[in-house]
């Protein structure tokens, strides 16, 4: 039986559909091999897409979409945006097209919501619906790219897009209710008047996605949000956007993802790894898996590398290494958040060789009480988390781990770590087999196994 099948059976077990499966064999296998061997295997599969050596000058067309359509019809190539400001509405990427922004090119996206209609099939905070088009959208395409040293400016601010947070509550609640009741997708039509802000870049059900070099700022909501997509590279991207829910990169229900050499300065999580919300995430039932984050810089944000909270489909094989994190406005370096309404299995999460200047809360945080608390019937599972050779110069806590008495957090390992200027003791609630090996906290070395 394959690793995917084991995890899927475990997922269904949490939903009460199958009897319990033994975890001891999985733990023994994990202990016997270096989990980073799997990272090397994943990297061997992730490849850049290729494009025909054919350029289309965006200035020769009435719109970027017309240039993209011409490029696609010719068999693909690059749509080149030269230096200068280019106003645009929603952009629809197509297969074999590389949208290339030259040095000094700035795509200025309209702040008029009507520029993102008609509604498209999308996910909003983990629930499927028809709503405003993302600013750059691709559906069921392959070999697509956004590259170059230019800038994507969403032009969101306190009076455009971001102010919608004051009016979105009713639509957000209705969407969550649709997901909970299993309302057919054809009836989940939002859009004008809904105040559900679009994401910036969303490849949906795509293969071979490459985003490289661009600067992204002033997004209405999440910046880079691939959904149900495979073979994704996000490389050398600079994100500076401090609006509400301005997550940097959110691969959701995706497989084989590489995020490297990027800079994040965000109003929410820098990287947030997701797999659908509540019943709708369990209906789709596609985990996010095989994600590698390396050589990135995290400045402001809620979490540096976050898993959740829309994680009902589960997450596994998440690797983060050689990142630098440092800001009084960065809350948690490695953050896992869920609850018994969200559920999901989060397993095989590994972080190593990460350097932290300061975070305002914890170096490692796992929270089963996020938002809804323990109000559901799908207790989450968090297991096999390893943090190795991570240093921090300042934090409130080293660890903040809050599980449930009926479902504790299990098998968390910290090894060869050094945490200085830790202001408060660890928060440890309902944990089992938390193992510290050569972990220095404020100069005191700890070697212990914690269950409480």
What are the residue numbers of the active site?
Answer: 268, 302
Q: What is the 3-state secondary structure (H, E, C) of the chain?
A: CCHHHHHHHHHHHHCCCCCCCCCHHHHHHHHHCCCHHHHHHHHHHCCCCCCCCCEEEHHHCCCHHHHHHHHHHCCCEEEEECCEEEEECCEECCCCEEEEECCCEEEEECCCHHHHCCCEEEEECCEEEEECCCCEEEECCEEEEEECCCEEECCCECCEEHHHHHCCHHHHHHHHHHHHHCCCHHHCECCCCCCCCCCCEEEECCEEEEEECCEEECCCCCCECCECCEEEEEECCEEEECCCCCCCECCECCEEEEEECCEEEECCCCEEEECECHHHHHHHCCCEEEEEEECCEECCEEEEEEECCCECCCEEEEEEECCEECCCCEEEEEEEECCCCCCCEEEEEEEECCEECCCCCEEEEEECCCCCCCCCCCCCEEEEEEEECCEECCECEEEEEECCCCCCEEEEEEEEEEECCECCCCEEECEEEEEEEEEEECCEEEEEEECC
Cis omega before residue 120 (within 30°)?
Answer: no
Q: Hunting for tokens 């069921």 — which residue is that? A: 140
- Whether omega before 193 lies within 30 degrees of 0, making that bond cis, reads no
Q: Which residues contact 299 (CB under 8 A, 6 or more apart)?
A: 263, 264, 265, 266, 270, 326, 327, 329, 330
* Cα angle 73, 115, 129; round to 5: 85
Q: What are phi and psi of 72, to 5 degrees?
A: -65, -45
In the numeric block, which tokens belong to residue 222? 């999440």
Residues 109, 157: contact at Cβ < 8 Å?
no
């Amino acid at each position: 039986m394959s690793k995917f099948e084991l995890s899927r059976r475990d997922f269904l077990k949490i939903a009460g559909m199958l009897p319990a499966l033994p975890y001891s064999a999985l733990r023994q296998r994990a202990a016997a091999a270096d989990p980073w061997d799997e990272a090397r295997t994943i990297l061997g599969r992730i490849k850049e897409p290729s494009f025909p050596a054919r350029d289309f000058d965006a200035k020769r067309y009435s719109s970027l979409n017309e240039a993209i359509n011409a490029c696609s019809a010719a068999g693909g190539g690059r749509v080149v945006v030269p230096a200068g400001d280019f106003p645009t509405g929603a952009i629809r990427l197509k297969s074999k097209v590389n949208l290339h922004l030259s040095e000094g090119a700035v795509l200025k996206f309209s702040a008029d919501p009507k520029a993102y209609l008609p509604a498209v099939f999308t996910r909003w905070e983990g629930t499927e619906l028809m709503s405003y088009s993302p600013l750059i959208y691709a559906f069921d395409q392959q070999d697509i790219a956004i590259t170059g040293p230019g800038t994507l400016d969403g032009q969101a601010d306190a009076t455009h897009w971001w102010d919608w947070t004051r009016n979105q509550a009713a639509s957000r609640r209705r969407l969550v209710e649709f997901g909970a009741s299993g309302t057919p997708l054809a009836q989940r039509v939002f859009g004008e008047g809904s105040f559900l802000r679009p994401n910036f870049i969303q490849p949906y059900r795509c293969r071979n996605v490459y985003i490289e070099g661009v600067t992204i700022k002033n997004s209405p909501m999440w910046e880079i949000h691939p959904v149900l997509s495979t073979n994704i590279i996000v490389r050398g991207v600079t994100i500076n956007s401090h609006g509400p829910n301005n997550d940097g990169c959110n691969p959701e229900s995706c497989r084989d993802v590489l995020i490297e050499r990027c800079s994040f300065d965000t109003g929410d999580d820098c990287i947030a790894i997701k797999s659908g919300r509540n019943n709708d995430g369990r209906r789709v039932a596609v985990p996010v898996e095989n994600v590698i984050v390396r050589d990135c810089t995290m400045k402001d944000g809620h979490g540096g590398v976050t898993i959740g909270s829309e994680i009902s489909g589960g997450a596994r094989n998440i690797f983060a290494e050689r990142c630098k994190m440092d800001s009084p406005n960065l809350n948690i370096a490695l953050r896992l958040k869920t609850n018994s309404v969200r559920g999901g299995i989060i397993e095989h999460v590994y972080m190593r060789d990460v350097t932290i200047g300061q975070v305002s809360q914890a170096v490692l945080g796992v929270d089963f009480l996020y938002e809804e608390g323990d109000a559901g019937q799908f207790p989450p599972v968090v297991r096999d988390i390893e943090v190795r050779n991570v240093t921090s110069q300042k934090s409130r806590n080293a660890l903040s781990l809050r599980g449930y008495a009926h479902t504790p957090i299990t098998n968390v390992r910290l090894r060869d770590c050094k945490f200085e200027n830790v202001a408060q003791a660890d928060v440890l609630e309902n944990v089992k087999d938390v193992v510290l090996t050569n972990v220095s906290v404020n100069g005191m070395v700890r070697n212990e196994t914690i269950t409480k």
